Structure 1
Amino acid sequence: MSLSADRPAAVPISPAVLSAFWFGTAFHWLVLLLILMPGDVVKFVGEGQKGTYLGLLTAIGAVMALVLPPLVGAHSDRTGKRIPYIRLGLGVNLAGLLVMALAAASLSGVAGFWVYVLGFLLVQFGNNYATAPYSALIPQLVPPEQRGRYSGVMAMLQAGGQLLGAVAALVIGLLHLPGIATYLLVGLVLLLPALVTMRGVPAQADRLVPSQSAPQLSVAQLFAHQPFLWVFLTRVLFALGQYSVQPFLQYYNKDVMRQGDPANATSIMLACIIVGSIASALIGGRISDRTGRKPVIYVAGGLMAAVALLLLFAPNFTAALLLALLFGLGFGAFTSVDWALGSDAMPSESSYARDMGIWHVAFVAPQFVGAPQGRLLDWGNAQSPNLGYTLVFGIAAVFFVLGVILVRNVPEKVHRPS
C-alpha cells in the first residue's frame, strides 16, 4: 500500500492534538527511568551493584524497543491502520506498569528483580507497539513546510510532560507517598493524553487511499537513501550521549553532589533541564522552517557536549542546576527539529510507519549503552572516588560532538526517489 501524495493537506489536525500522546509518554518515561527504576533497583540489589543492574534492566528493555517498532510499523502500513495499534499498545503498557508496581511493593532480592524485569518488558512491548504507527502520523498528516512548527509543538509538549513528571516526583517524595501511588499516576497521565490523540486523529488516517506514485523500497534501499542514512546515524550518536548519563543522574546527585535526598535532587535538576527545553523548543522548530534544520542542531549539540563535561567540575548543587538549565536549552532546540528532520528524510510515502519505526530504533537502540556504561561507572568508582562519573560523562560529550560533526552530511533539501 502507498499513501496518497496529498494526504497532509487532506486531513488537517491540530499540532497539540497530534502531540498529546507524546506528552503522556514523556511523563511516563521520565518518572519511570529517572525516578522509580533507580530507586527500585537499589531496593532489590543494594548499593554495590546498582549501576550494573540498572544498566542491565535498561538494556533488556532496549531489545524490545529495537525489534518491535519496524515490524509493527510494516504491518500498520499494510493494513492502512494507525489507531488500533496505539490502543492495543497502550493497554499492554498499562498492564506492565501494574506488574512493576506490585513487584516493587511486595518483593525483594534478585528474584523480585526478575519479576520487575517482566513488568518492564511488558511496558516496553506496549509502548513500542504503539510508537511506530503513531510516529507515522507526522509525515503522513503534516506538509513538509509545517513540520518544523509541528515538531516544535511536540517538543514543547514533551518537555511539558517531563516537567510535570519532575514536579510530581518531587511532591510525592516530599509527601513520602508509597511507590505504587506513583505508578498509578504514571498510568493515568499516560492514558488521558493518549485518548486525546486517538479521538482527535481524523478518521481518514485509518482509511489510507492506495496510490501508485510512491515507490516501494526495501530496507537496504532505505539506508541507501543518503538523507535517511545520515539522519539515522546522527540520531544514534545524540541518543548515545543522552543514555550515557540519563540513567545515572540520581546516583550522580548522591555520590558527587552529596545530596541527602538524591531522588528529590534529581527531580529538581530535571525540572531545570525541562524549563530550558520549553524555552527553546518552539522557537527552534520555527527557526528551522526558515533557515534549515542543521544550524539548530549545531548549536544544540555543542551546548549539550559542553555541559556534559562541565557537570564534572560543578562546585556545588546550585552550579549543577544552572548547568542543567543550559543543557535544557540545547536539548529543547534539538528535540524541536528532531521529528522534522526525521520526517523530511522519509524516502517513500508507502512505508511511513515502517520507516519511522526503523528511525525510532536510532533513539532506542543506544539504550544498550546503559549496561556497559553502568559497569564502567561501578568499575571507575571502585578504582577512585567518582572516577566512574568522569569516564561516563566524558564519553557522553564525545558522542554529542560526533553527532554535531556528522549532521553536516544531511542534505537540507530532501529529494524523494522516483
Structure 2
Amino acid sequence: MLSAFWFGTAFHWLLLLLILLPANVVRFVGEGQKGTYLGVLLLVGALIALVLPPLVGAHSDRTGRRVPYIRLGVGVNLAGLAVMAFAATSLTGVGGFWVYVLGFLLVQFGNNYATAPYSALIPQLVPPEERGRYSGVMALLQAVGQLLGAVAAFVIGLLKLPVLVSFALIAAVLLIPALITLRGVPESAGPVVQTAKGPTLSWRELFAHQPFFWVFVTRVLFALGQYSVQPFLQYYNADVLGQRDAQTSTSVMLVCIIVGSIASALVGGRVSDRVGRKPVIYVAGGVMAAAALALLVAPSYPVALALAVGFGVGFGAFTSVDWALGSDAMPSASSYARDMGIWHVAFVAPQMTSAPQGALLDWGNAHGGNLGYTLVFGIAALFFLAGVVLVRNVPDAAHRRAAA
C-alpha cells in the first residue's frame, strides 16, 4: 500500500514526459525549435522540483505529519493536468504553449509537494536490513507503472485517440493508487523505525556527512545521464531510426527498456542486502553507459530495441538499490522528510540540463549527420561512467550500519 503511490507516479511521468510533452511541443512550435522549447518546458518545471521538496519536507518534519501533504499535492497535480489538457486540445501557437507551461508548473508543484513527505515514509517505516528488498519492490512497481504507461501510449497512438483521453488516463492512474496509499498509511504516521537518531543537521552539516554527500553526487550524475537521453527519445526514433510513427515506436522502445528493468529490479535489491549497494551500482552504470553509446551506431530499429532491453536491465538494477542507498545515508530520523527532499533534488535538478541539451541537439543536427544525437548520447554515457567511478566514495559503513 505504501508503494502504490509510486506506481501511479511512475505511470504519470512516463506518459506525460516521454510521450505527451514531446508530441504537444511539436504541435505548438513546429519541428525547427522542438528541442529548444521542450528543454525550456522541462527547465521551468525542474526549478519547482529543485526548491519545493526540501522546504515542504522540513515543514512536514516539524508537524510530524505526512498524509495531509500527499493529499493536497495530488489535488494540485490533478488541477495542473486539467490545465494542460485544455491547452493541448483548445489552443495553438506559442501563446498556447505558455498556457501549457502554466499547467505543467502546477503539475510539478503538486507532485513535488507530495513527494518529500511521502519519501520520508520509506526510511521511517522500513527496517534497515530489509531496505534493499523493499527498494526492489519500489523499483518493480515503478517499472510496472512505466510499462503500463508505455503500453497505454502505444494503444492510444495505434487507435489515434484524442489527446484528452491521455490526460484523463494519467489523472485516473495517479489518483487511484494515491488513494490506496492514503488509506494504508495512518493519518499521523510516526517514526516506526528509529535507526539514525540524533539532532537535525544544518544543510552544511548534512553535506559534510560523507555518506549523504556521495550518494547525492552520484545520484546527480546518474540522473544527468538519464535526462541527457530520455526527453529526446521520440525525436531520436524519428530522425535517426527513421520511424514514421515516432510516438508508437518510442512506446515500443520504452516497453523494451521497462521489461529489462523489471527483470533486474527485485534481483538487484535482494543482492544488495547481501553484498552491498555499490557492486550493483557498478554493474548497472556500466551497462547503461555501454547501451547509450551503442544506440548511436544501431544499424536498425530492431537492434535499437535489443539495446533498449540491455539499458533497461542496467536501469532496473540501479533503481532497485536507489531508495535503499538514499535511506542508508540519512543521518537523522528527526529530519527524514527534509533530508529525503534534498536527496530527491539530486534526481530532479538535472532536468534543468534538458534546456541546454535540447539547444545542443538542435545545434548539432543543424550541422548535419545527426551530430546533435551523437553529442547528447555521448554526454549521457560520460555521466553514467562518472557515477560508477564516484560511487566508490560512498562509505561502506553506511551499508554495514543498515545491515547491523
Matched, 1:266 2:257: no
Give 2:73's aligned amino acid: G
Q: 2:42 touches 2:351 (CA, 8 Å); kept in 1? A: yes
Q: CA deviation at 1:47?
A: 0.2
Q: CA deviation at 1:198?
A: 1.0
- How many Å separate the matches in 2 of 1:376 and 1:37? 19
Matched, 1:246 2:230: yes
The residue that corresponds to 1:30 in the other structure is 14
- How many Å separate the matches in 2 of 1:342 and 1:37? 29
Matched, 1:399 2:379: no
Q: CA deviation at 1:209?
A: 11
User: Which 4+ runs in 1 deviate beyond 6 A?
Assistant: 207-212
The residue that corresponds to 1:205 in the other structure is 189
The residue that corresponds to 1:3 in the other structure is none
Q: CA deviation at 1:213?
A: 5.1
Report the TM-score when normalising by structure 2: 0.97
The residue that corresponds to 1:169 in the other structure is 153
- How many Å separate the matches in 1 of 2:187 and 2:267? 31
Report the TM-score when normalising by structure 1: 0.94
Q: CA deviation at 1:93?
A: 0.2
The residue that corresponds to 2:124 in the other structure is 140
The residue that corresponds to 1:88 in the other structure is 72
- Give the one of 280, 296, 319 matched to 2:280: 296
- Give the one of 302, 309, 312 matched to 2:296: 312
The SS at the match of 1:216 is coil
Q: 2:243 touches 2:249 (CA, 8 Å); kept in 1? A: yes
Matched, 1:105 2:89: yes
Q: Deviations over 1:116-138 (max 9, x none)?
A: 00000000000000000000000
The residue that corresponds to 1:190 in the other structure is 174
Q: CA deviation at 1:386?
A: 0.5
Q: CA deviation at 1:211?
A: 12
Q: Deviations over 1:147-198 (max 9, x none)?
A: 0011000000000000000000000111110001100000000011111111
Q: 2:46 touches 2:352 (CA, 8 Å); kept in 1? A: yes
RMSD of aligned Cα (Å): 1.5
Compared with structure 1, are the counterparts of its residues 158 and 211 closer, same or farther at alpha carbon in structure 2 (3 Å cutoff)?
closer
The SS at the match of 1:18 is coil
Q: CA deviation at 1:202?
A: 3.5
- Give the one of 45, 50, 56 matched to 2:40: 56
The residue that corresponds to 2:367 in the other structure is 383
Compared with structure 1, are the counterparts of its residues 228 and 210 closer, same or farther at alpha carbon in structure 2 (3 Å cutoff)?
closer
Identity of aligned residues (%): 76
The residue that corresponds to 1:124 in the other structure is 108
Q: CA deviation at 1:216?
A: 2.0
Q: Deviations over 1:222-252 (max 9, x none)?
A: 0000000000000000000000000000000
Give 2:3's aligned amino acid: S
Q: CA deviation at 1:18?
A: 1.4
- How many Å separate the matches in 1 of 2:279 and 2:30? 45
Structure 1 residues without counterparts, runs of 5 or longer: 1-16
Q: 1:80 touches 1:208 (CA, 8 Å); kept in 2? A: no
Q: 2:124 touches 2:194 (CA, 8 Å); kept in 1? A: no
Matched, 1:74 2:73: no
- How many Å separate the matches in 1 of 2:196 and 2:316? 38
Q: Deviations over 1:48-79 (max 9, x none)?
A: 00000000000010000000000000000000
- How many Å separate the matches in 2 of 1:234 and 1:204? 33
The residue that corresponds to 2:322 in the other structure is 338
Give 2:189's aligned amino acid: A
- How many Å separate the matches in 1 of 2:26 and 2:58? 39
The residue that corresponds to 1:286 in the other structure is 270
Give 2:164's aligned amino acid: I
Q: CA deviation at 1:365?
A: 0.1
The SS at the match of 2:144 is helix
- Give the one of 119, 137, 151 matched to 2:135: 151
The residue that corresponds to 2:312 in the other structure is 328
Structure 2 residues without counterparts, runs of 5 or longer: none
